[in-house]
Chains A and B, each alone.
Chain A
Amino acid sequence: MASKKTAQKTLRLAPVLDLNEATALHEKLLALKGSAVAIDASAVERIGALCVQVLIAGARNWEEQQLSFTFAKVSDAFVKTTQLIGVDIDPLMAKEI
């Protein structure tokens, strides 16, 4: 378990995840390929559908690679936006706090 934890990388999301951020986020995720990822979405104030798309694509990719892809911390805005647009992130929520 200890080795796995060191391999896990954290990706902290920017407060504003708009059109511009989608490409940046996409690149960041691509750079993390091969490691378990914990997403820190606690700072997110605003997230657009494009960035949700990128995150979902990332989650699918990680799932294919059988690596862990979790949302470690989420802001209220992040949760509510994903609920609003019908994207269920519950399965991706980190189970232990």
Chain B
Amino acid sequence: MDMNEIKEIFFQECEEQLAELESGLLKLNDGDRDPETVNAVFRAVHSIKGGAGAFGLDDLVSFAHVFETTLDCVRSNRLEPNQDVLKVMLKSADVLADLTNAARDGGSVDQARSRQLIKELEALASGELPQATAAEPTFKAAPTPVAAPPVNEEGFQPVAFSFEDFEADEPAVIEAPCYEIVFRPKSELYAKGNDATLLLRDLSRLGEMSIHCDMDGMPPLDRMNPEAAYFSWKISLKTDKGEEAIRSVFEFAEWDCDLDIALAGGCAVDASEELPMQPVPFDLSMLDEAPAGSAEEEEQFASRDRDAAVSAAGTASNVLQMAQSSTRAPAEAQRNTTAAASAAAQQAASAATPTIRVDLDRVDRLINLVGELVINQAMLSQSVIENDTNGTSSINMGLEELQQLTREIQDSVMAIRAQPVKPVFQRMSRIVREIADMTGKSVRLVTEGENTEVDKTVIDKLAEPLTHMIRNAVDHGLETPEKRLAAGKNAEGTVRLTAKHRSGRIVIELADDGAGINREKVRQKAIDNDLIAADANLSDEEVDNLIFHAGFSTADKISDISGRGVGMDVVKRSIQALGGRINISSKPGQGSIFTMSLPLTLAVLDGMVVTVANQTLVVPLTAIVETLQPEAAAIHSFGASQRLISIRNSFCPLVDVGRILNFRATQANPVEGVALLVESEGGGQRALMVDAIQGQRQVVIKSLEANYTHVPGIAAATILGDGRVALILDVDAIVAASRGQTLKPEMSLAAAG
């Protein structure tokens, strides 16, 4: 693993932390005061800052720092996270996300916006804090209490000192000043895992050192506390590294010892003073940590150890001990590896659910192969059936099991690509905040069913249409606070985004409690735009669905937000491109509900296999309402080529699929075929006329675009059990074409990307 990979991990983690941050802030916004929520929010920012610091992402670090400082005020109850505070924090979370993206992908962020937010955050932090300790945008070492020496940026760099340096420096040492150091450790120093020996070791590396150990405080053996500090030391140290370096040796211990450092006049390196000073020899190599480095060094270390042991081995007990130590080594090594393995296992087990990260390409390759397997299995079954004269052979039973298994494998593989809609939903709350700000409306976004899972491709492609719809809902759907109050509503509007599974599809609902569709206005607009005749008799539902027509916009003025020429027609097209449907239902004064129904996967499809002009076609089952056998009496013709079929007292246009796809030049006789009643655009029903139904089956979708080119009226292709290629019908495009619109490439919609 190199730094770039870790950086990639960092950005992945940032995404998770940002999601955590936002959902935490939203919980706080809803009145959640659980300290763990505040902690989680704090940790998220803290963690981003930590990682960013390691990669030198200064913009990110400094913003995260200010943010963190303000969050710390909330954490320590110095700042009440009211709505105003959270508004700033949510915006800050957005900026943090922008900065993270800019750090990853390059590009710039809105500097003015982040500067403004830094000011606001600092104001929040300092509002409750007269000292304004938090208002420091760049982070410097906070002033340490007591007489702690200011540690420079390099930290304890000066301590680093090798003995080679020492020898080289030796002539200069004569001129080096001499320090008198009195070091009296407290018992706490040892209790915290420190040791006087280590500190003295580091001190000895600074220069030439003489030492006197003061044992006067030692009680008798039976009265001593073996864990109490009794020894203290007086040290003479000749060093040119300065007092700073000496103090930094004791940096970790300064609270747990008494330390006096004084520049001495003359150096008492010689043991001729009142106190017997022991010169400390240079060669302390045994005390050096095994220079944590190459295996070679370690080996040297080990062999030196062994040599020492051998030279000392005068007696049998020593030999025995040596033998013991050498047998201990492999045993320990083994124990270490098992310990590490079980630690790793435990680490994995302790996470909520263990996960692995897999390259998406690999999953897709697998999905493709499983698709081939399913096709192959179907072909095999078919040829066995065709060649099997005995009827019930054991091969048939085996094949049935194989079919079961392939189906299960397929489902499991599809589940790998399934992901919760949560990230998309979370992105929407930012959209709501931004548009609420721009329109001056007060909006609350409520999300439900965030953990509903759907294919990753669907999720990825959902964000854009959903963004348009949310903007639309806030901009056009919700009223201004004044109007809402006047209408007896809460000044704050609610947009509710829900996801759920329903009969093998995912249904996403976007509901607002706004004014609802102004049907009069929509109708008038449609008439003005020649979308409908002035005297057209349309149901409420049909009027509502007019907003999905291209270029339709009812806003009086084209607002900056939803009026960029991007209308609901684009939304509808994106949803359809995913093999989905979208509907609207609206109640004046109470709001509108957009309902999207999408397939869970784009890789397979339940279809009805039909014959049209000797061609085999697949019609997505989700589009079919019912099938019926037309009777001559039910067919009514009007105009040159239009025909209607009457179904239970209502008329439904008959669509000749073979004609529209140019499979034949003349109209087929409806009585000889089958009618598939389909629901399409705008909720209207059409009867698709086909020659015959072959059956229903799940088919593996093969993109035509990827393998050939886009064909109007055709969504994709598949391979049937008998090895033939069958085209999958794009029902909406066919229906649109039947309305007189020709099948133009840009009009037809592929169901599979």
Interface residues of A (CB under 8 A from B): 18-19, 22-23, 25-26, 29-30, 40, 42-43, 47-50, 52-54, 56-58, 60-61, 64, 73, 75-77, 80-81, 83-88, 97
CA distance A6 to B218 in the complex (A): 31
Query: Can you identify 14 A-B contacts, CB atoms within 8 angstroms?
Result: A18-B195, A26-B226, A47-B197, A48-B195, A49-B229, A50-B226, A50-B227, A52-B231, A53-B218, A54-B224, A57-B218, A57-B224, A77-B286, A86-B233
CB <8 Å contact, A42 and B318:
yes
- Known: A19-B193, A52-B231. Is A83-B278 also a contact (CB below 8 A)? yes
CB <8 Å contact, A61 and B230:
no
Q: Which of B207-215, B373-381, B409-417 contacts its partner?
A: B207-215
CB < 8 Å neighbour of B197 from A26, A48, A56: A48
Q: For A54, what are the chain B residues with a Cβ–Cβ distance below 8 Å?
A: 221, 224, 226
CA distance A52 to B233 in the complex (A): 14
CA distance A18 to B221 in the complex (A): 18
| Nearest CB of B to A47, in Å | 7
Q: For A84, what are the chain B residues with a Cβ–Cβ distance below 8 Å?
A: 197, 200-201, 204, 211, 280, 284, 287
Residue of A56, A60, A61, A80 with most chain B CB atoms under a 10 A cut-off = A80
Q: For A73, what are the chain B residues with a Cβ–Cβ distance below 8 Å?
A: 312, 318
CB <8 Å contact, B287 and A57:
no
CB < 8 Å neighbour of A85 from B213, B220, B321: B213
Q: For B277, what are the chain A residues with a Cβ–Cβ distance below 8 Å?
A: 86
CB < 8 Å neighbour of A25 from B191, B197, B226, B325: B226
In the complex, which range does the number of interface residues on chain B fall in? 35 or more
List of 5 A-B pairs having minimum Cβ-Cβ separation, nearest first: A86-B211, A86-B213, A26-B226, A49-B196, A61-B221
A-B CB contacts (within 8 Å), total count:
111
CA distance A58 to B226 in the complex (A): 11
Q: For A56, what are the chain B residues with a Cβ–Cβ distance below 8 Å?
A: 215, 218
- Chain B residue nearest to A57 (CB atoms) is B221
- Chain B residue nearest to A75 (CB atoms) is B308
Q: For B215, what are the chain A residues with a Cβ–Cβ distance below 8 Å?
A: 56, 87
CB <8 Å contact, B221 and A30:
yes
CB <8 Å contact, B222 and A61:
yes
- Known: A30-B221, A60-B220, A88-B278. Is A22-B227 also a contact (CB below 8 A)? yes
Q: For B222, what are the chain A residues with a Cβ–Cβ distance below 8 Å?
A: 30, 61
| Nearest CB of B to A84, in Å | 6
B253-305, CB < 8 A from A: 277-278, 280-281, 283-284, 286-287
- Chain A residue nearest to B224 (CB atoms) is A57
- Chain A residue nearest to B312 (CB atoms) is A42
For residue B185, CB closer than 8 A to chain A, the reply is yes
| Nearest CB of A to B121, in Å | 45
Q: For B221, what are the chain A residues with a Cβ–Cβ distance below 8 Å?
A: 26, 29-30, 54, 57-58, 60-61
Residue of B231, B277, B325 with most chain A CB atoms under a 10 A cut-off = B231
Residue of B190, B195, B230, B312 with most chain A CB atoms under a 10 A cut-off = B195
CA distance A77 to B312 in the complex (A): 13
CB <8 Å contact, B287 and A77:
yes
CB <8 Å contact, B308 and A76:
yes
CB <8 Å contact, B196 and A85:
yes
| Nearest CB of B to A51, in Å | 8
CB < 8 Å neighbour of B278 from A22, A49, A52, A86: A86
CB <8 Å contact, A80 and B286:
yes
CB <8 Å contact, B231 and A85:
yes
CA distance A75 to B311 in the complex (A): 11
Given A57-B219, A61-B220: 8 more A-B contacts, CB < 8 Å: A19-B191, A48-B190, A49-B197, A50-B195, A57-B220, A64-B220, A84-B197, A84-B287
| Nearest CB of A to B542, in Å | 83
CB <8 Å contact, B212 and A86:
yes
CB <8 Å contact, B190 and A50:
yes
- Known: A53-B224, A53-B226. Is A97-B314 also a contact (CB below 8 A)? yes
CB < 8 Å neighbour of A49 from B191, B195, B287, B325: B195
CA distance A97 to B315 in the complex (A): 10
B168-214, CB < 8 A from A: 185, 190-191, 193, 195-197, 200-201, 204, 211-213
B444-480, CB < 8 A from A: none
| Nearest CB of A to B185, in Å | 7
CA distance A73 to B317 in the complex (A): 11
| Nearest CB of B to A48, in Å | 4
CA distance A38 to B312 in the complex (A): 16
- Chain B residue nearest to A76 (CB atoms) is B286
- Chain B residue nearest to A64 (CB atoms) is B220
